[in-house]
Amino acid sequence: MNAALQKIAILLLLMLPCAASAVALCGPDSVAHERGSDYFYLQAISLMEQEKYDAAYEMFEHCRALSPSSSAVLFELANIYQYIGQRDEALSILRGIVRDNPHNQLFWESLLRFFEDEGDAEALLQIYEEMSHQFPDKSELFFTLAMQYSERGDFAKALQALNHYERIEGPSDIASLQRYRIYSLTKDYTSAIDEVVALIREFPDDAAYVPLLGETYYQMGDKEKALLIHNEVLEKDPDNIYSLKCLAGYYKAENNDSLYCHYIERAIRSEKLESEERAGFLREYILYKDAQNKPGDILSFVDSLIELPYAYSETVDLFIAYHAYRSYSEDEMLPVLEKILAKEPDNKMAHMTMLFFSIDRQAYDEVVTRSRTAIMYFPDVIDLYRYLGISLYHLGRKEEAVEAYTQGVERCRDTAKTEELSDMYGLIGDAYHEQGKMPKAVEAYESALAYDGNNLLVLNNYAYYLALENMELEKALEMSARTLRDEPDELIYVDTYAWILFLLERYDEAKLYADKLMAGDSAKSAVEYHHCGDIYAKCGDMERAVQCWVQARDNGDDSKVLKRKIKKRKYIPDGKKK
């Protein structure tokens, strides 16, 4: 027993003498006794409203001692027992309340909820059956029973329940459709057709029932009759979505490509089709055409749908999602995307798709233009400022790049993730360092780490730039070491750590990391070769030093000091920055 229940048990024991005295003095039926029970009941309800459940439990048990047969008290106690996990006690109380109050539907429904919570389907069915006998005029009970019996495959009982439902409610299309479903499942097509014919007679204006008759004949194997019915429907109502869907399904099953496409396209274009259904059919159509390797058909069909106002949004979303799956070329996508933006200038997916095309081609002027256009519509998307800043940086417009990064941080501070803000401050720090503004770079890096202290790229760049400026080398070494703890095989981080050790004149340690760097499989930059050459030279391994310097020269390092090192075969200080 947990602590709360132990406390309750002790308090109950302490209260028992009081309860016994009250019974002895007043008798269970006295007015004073009832008033006392009512008082404590109201107090218990008040405690429940205050969420003081332990105290409420104690008060309800006191009420039960005063009035053992009070249904109201027992009902509340059953809820409490169920809440604290004492299911057997709760069920015993609920069954007792129902037994003593067989005409109270609220108590029966509480018993239903109990078994629903327990997931006890058999007990639930039994309660519904008992309730149907107790409340023979409650039509909803019989419809629920019909559904329950159908799920179990007890179709005879389901039909009986539906018939009883209609004796109460009168003829019902809901009951007829459920009966039709049962007849179809049991392949009693004669009865199924009779049911649909009755529905057509009762609801002649409903567009679904005549196509349902055609579907029934198709299930029977009478395809000719089914097609005749659907064609008659479409002659009178060319946009009848039910017949269009049925015919599309028939011809797809028969691998009749042209007729399947004809009817599925008509269905998708129909204004009568619900948005969610249109998305489902369009997805089916796109995958069908994709399996045939006919992207041109998809593009032209989607292009035609964009002109339809009622088919627009689901068309655009699916089309762009399919691009991500199949990777259409920019030439294929661009006309459709431009049409989308002409119709809906603030379509985010279209803007981002066009932007990614420009990024993939490294067309930085285009990225700048498209990023700025997108920012007008989506000023709180921090990625747009990053793409804009990086592109400006590549174009040599470094001050504008910093402005873009800074604007992104200011506008997106409340919406962006902390990791995104950290990355942006890191880019600001990199840009300021490139401009020779080291104090501002340090300030930006510190802000980046305040947002994400484990941003490895920021830790690496901050450490390396401190090393280049010969500033706070021990702090730089500590930051670099943190990157290696998380990613020990990332060669950029290995190079930074090795170089800081070199600057601290810890040459033997630096050599260990230079060896690791040179042993790595990935391509190495001229700077990394140059660093390793310097480290090997300081450790007295001039042969390897020269080999590394030559590799640095062959990879693009054309500095004069490197040429002198190779020629003289000796280390020469140069203060070269990475």
What string of DSSP letters covers 279-317?
HHHHHHHHHHHHHTT-HHHHHHHHHHHHT-GGGHHHHHH
CA separation for the pair 144, 158 (Å, rounded)? 9
What is the third-level CATH fold of 486-578?
1.25.40
In order, the DSSP letters of 149-200 are HHHHT-HHHHHHHHHHHHHHH-S-HHHHHHHHHHHHHTT-HHHHHHHHHHHH
Q: What pLDDT, on the 0 to 100 scale, is given for residue 323?
A: 73
Instruction: Indicate if the pLDDT at residue 12 is higher than 90.
Output: no
Model confidence at 138, in pLDDT bands (50, 70, 90)? confident
Provide the pLDDT for residue 66: 66
pLDDT band at 499; cut points 50, 70, 90 = very high
All residues at 6 or more sequence positions from 11 whose CB lies less than 8 Å from its CB, including other chains: 58
pLDDT of the residue at 49: 67
- Round the average pLDDT of the chain to a whole number and report it: 84
pLDDT tier for residue 105 given thresholds of 50, 70 and 90: confident
Q: Whole-structure pTM over 0.75, yes or no?
A: no
pLDDT at 269 over 70: yes
> Span 224-230, mean pLDDT?
94
Residues with Cβ within 8 Å of 515's Cβ and at least 6 positions away in sequence, in order, are: none
Q: What is the number of other CB atoms lying within 10 angstroms of the CB of residue 204?
A: 9
Q: Is a pLDDT exceeding 80 seen at residue 150?
A: yes
Nearest to 363 by CA among 396, 395, 403: 395
3 confidence band (pLDDT: 50, 70, 90): very low
Least confident of 38-42, 263-267, 415-419, 433-437: 38-42
pLDDT of residue 8: 37
Q: What pLDDT, in 10s, does the model give residues 379-411?
A: 999 999 999 999 999 999 999 999 999 999 999
Least confident segment among 211-225, 285-299, 441-455, 522-536: 285-299
Q: Which residues of 363-379 are buried (b: 16+ CB within 10 A; e: fewer)?
A: ebebbbebbebbbeeee
- Tell me what pLDDT residue 102 has: 82
pLDDT tens-digit profile of 32-88? 455 555 666 676 677 666 777 677 667 667 677 766 766 676 777 667 666 666 777
User: 149 is written with which tokens?
Assistant: 């019996």
Sign of the C-alpha dihedral computed for residues 372, 373, 379 and 383 taken in this order? negative
Q: Which residues does 28 contact at the CB level (< 8 Å), separation at least 6?
A: 67, 68
pLDDT at 234 over 50: yes
Provide the pLDDT for residue 35.
Answer: 52
Write the pLDDT tens digit of every residue in 440-477. 999 999 999 999 999 999 999 999 999 998 899 999 99
pLDDT recorded at residue 6: 41
More confident site: 157 or 520: 157
Lowest mean pLDDT across 193-197, 294-298, 488-492: 294-298
Does residue 20 register a pLDDT over 50?
no
Residue 377 pLDDT class (50, 70, 90 cuts)? very high
Predicted confidence at residue 40, as pLDDT, reads: 66
**The pLDDT value given to residue 103:** 85
Looking at residue 13, its pLDDT comes to: 30
Comparing CA positions, the residue from 278, 293, 241, 284 lying closest to residue 263 is: 241
* All structural domains of the chain with their residue ranges: 486-578
Task: Note the pLDDT of residue 11.
Answer: 32
Q: Indicate the range of 68-77, 249-258, 264-273, 276-285 predicted with least confidence.
A: 68-77
What is the predicted pLDDT for the residue at 19? 32
